[in-house]
Structure 1
Amino acid sequence: MVERPFDRLRKVPGQYWMLVLMWIRSALAYPASFVFMVGSSMLITVLDFVVIVIMFNHIKSFGGFSLGEMALLYATASMTLGIADLFTGSIERVGERIRTGSMDVYLIRPVPAFVQAAADQFALRRIGRPLQAGVVLVFAFSHLEVDWTVAKGIMLALSMVVGGIIFAAIFVLGASFQFVAIDSAELANAFTYGGQTLTQYPLSVFGKDIVRAVTFVVPLAFVNYYPVLYVLGKPAPLGLPSWIGLLSPAVAVAMVALASLAWRGGLRRYRSTGS
């Protein structure tokens, strides 16, 4: 009996977690080392926020944002990238596998190549970034003066998931480009890790051309900036409507569709090295 596409898709989560659990068991075999790595990751990422706190010792607002509002921007940017990096960041190793010829192994196993690439050497230590973001989020809530509503609460919670999906799609797009330009992993990093650095600050401090680019070209502004503007009741730039943050889920769907097409196109283009 021929397996239907829906049946194959239904198996994907189980296949992914099976591979992930294998790497988690490997990481937890050395608990002291794991705790040290997570702690180090949290310490390194929190230094960025420490710089922001120090900056606010000398100013009252930055780009129209208070310390609490900046903390919310920072936390959502770091949380969304952290989630995407944790679950799909390993896919950036595709270029190395193409170069060495080990990509062939993915293609002969009865598990989708994407699932194997995303779960490859799953690094649980990356959980340090979202954990640190959670701490900053608590700090933000304690310093915010927001008239909370159910809609705003849902928007903020949803933006964490949607933003992570957008970043994950960018990871996949970067990996797909490596089928064309093998040594291009750093190019994708400019839009993922670099994008997180950009979105942790108000886009109002950047030029309008940059705001247009991260709105209409690489939609990083939909990761957290527009949803946060909606939550805080701030106007959107470029004369855009204040409800533009509500379009983030639609943007995420479009990015996933684009990433899927790019990944499939990359696999069709792939030619083994023969090694």
Structure 2
Amino acid sequence: MVESLRAYGLLVRMWCRAAWQYPGSLILMTVSQALITLMDLAMVAVLFSQIDELASFGLREVLFLYGTSYLAFGLADLALGNVDLLGYRIRKGTFDAMLVRPAGTLVQVAAEDFSPRRLAVVLQGAVVLGVALPLVDVDWSPARVAMVVTMVISGAVIFGALRVLCAAVLFVVTDAAEVISAFTYGGNVLTQYPLAIYGREALRILTWVVPLAFVNWYPALYVLGRPDPLGLPDALRFASPLAALALALLAGAGWRAGVRRYRSTGN
């Protein structure tokens, strides 16, 4: 693990130095990335210009959900966003070269073409969360502050693990990149709003099948002091780290299975 993190850090540093050779281009790309992501926030503003509450959540509470979701997603996207390109690398045959390098394949795929412009998503999530925290009607305590930190970290692990798990499918079906987008970008959009609006059946699926509810929904119920619409045990509000760990282990196993199944495309 230590060697993998060290290799990842070296590769990221190399790509950052390469990107900074063209600072004007990097700055413009970062600004454009920030403007694109602001569209999601604009949708929230438009929505609440027409209504006062969404599933009993007001604008302040939704901004809290938005900020935690976007910050967690941004951290996962920054670290593992490039695994989306695995199918392209397999088709081009460039994944073969990664198999003979002295570094893990997941480390290389994640760090390949790393771009600091992805920091724009992290920054936006952090700013929105920073604005929402003093606005929500919460009696802040050390436990609630710790929960906010835990939910962001656990959410980032969940988003990252889903990304890796979906990418492992590309070893079998190389043209299924949309699958990753459905669970990652789609999951980010889902968790920006109260999950109660999607109905009880959808909430069950997002709890027990695709555990996106543990990104910020269940921890937010604890922080905001809200009841669970499914009436599930309160212990689930503290289960995000366990869900993140289980999904990370599953993603690691899925990635290793995909690498074992891989057959070179030739050159």
TM-score of the superposition, structure 2-length normalised?
0.97
1:159 aligns with 2:121: no
What percent of counterpart residues are identical?
45
Match of 2:48 in 1: 56
Match of 1:168 in 2: 160
Q: Deviations over 1:178-237 (max 9, x none)?
A: 011111111111000000001101111112111011100010010111111110011123
CA distance in 1, matches of 2:223, 2:235: 10
Using the TM superposition, give the Cα deviation of residue 78 of structure 1 relative to its aligned residue in structure 2, in angstroms.
0.8
Q: Which moved more, 1:228-237 or 1:248-257?
A: 228-237
| 273 and 55 in structure 1: CA distance in 2 versus 1, 3 angstrom threshold | closer
Match of 2:225 in 1: 233
Structure 2 residue matching 1:116: 3-state secondary structure = helix
CA distance in 2, matches of 1:242, 1:186: 35
| Pairing partner for 2:111 from 86, 106, 119 | 119
CA distance in 2, matches of 1:12, 1:186: 28
Match of 2:78 in 1: 86
Match of 1:5 in 2: none
1:43 aligns with 2:35: yes
1:149 aligns with 2:146: no
CA distance in 2, matches of 1:37, 1:274: 34
Match of 1:219 in 2: 211
Match of 2:68 in 1: 76
Using the TM superposition, give the Cα deviation of residue 166 of structure 1 relative to its aligned residue in structure 2, in angstroms.
0.5
Aligned residue type for 1:33: S
- Paired residues of 1:95 and 1:185 also in contact (CA < 8 A): yes
Using the TM superposition, give the Cα deviation of residue 243 of structure 1 relative to its aligned residue in structure 2, in angstroms.
3.6
- Paired residues of 1:42 and 1:132 also in contact (CA < 8 A): yes
| Pairing partner for 2:58 from 47, 58, 66 | 66
1:18 aligns with 2:10: yes
Q: CA RMSD in A?
A: 1.1
Using the TM superposition, give the Cα deviation of residue 152 of structure 1 relative to its aligned residue in structure 2, in angstroms.
0.6
Using the TM superposition, give the Cα deviation of residue 274 of structure 1 relative to its aligned residue in structure 2, in angstroms.
1.7
Using the TM superposition, give the Cα deviation of residue 38 of structure 1 relative to its aligned residue in structure 2, in angstroms.
1.3
Q: Deviations over 1:39-78 (max 9, x none)?
A: 1111111221122123223322111111110000001111
Aligned residue type for 2:229: P
TM-score of the superposition, structure 1-length normalised?
0.94
Structure 1 residue matching 2:184: 3-state secondary structure = helix
Query: What is the number of residues matched between the two proteins?
Result: 267
CA distance in 1, matches of 2:237, 2:173: 34
CA distance in 2, matches of 1:273, 1:110: 21
Aligned residue type for 1:249: P
Match of 1:6 in 2: none
Match of 1:30 in 2: 22
| Pairing partner for 1:129 from 121, 125, 150 | 121
| Pairing partner for 2:176 from 184, 192, 214 | 184
Show structure 2 runs of 5+ residues with no match. Answer: none
| Pairing partner for 1:245 from 237, 242, 245 | 237
Structure 2 residue matching 1:143: 3-state secondary structure = coil
CA distance in 2, matches of 1:60, 1:175: 39
CA distance in 2, matches of 1:51, 1:256: 32
CA distance in 1, matches of 2:259, 2:39: 39
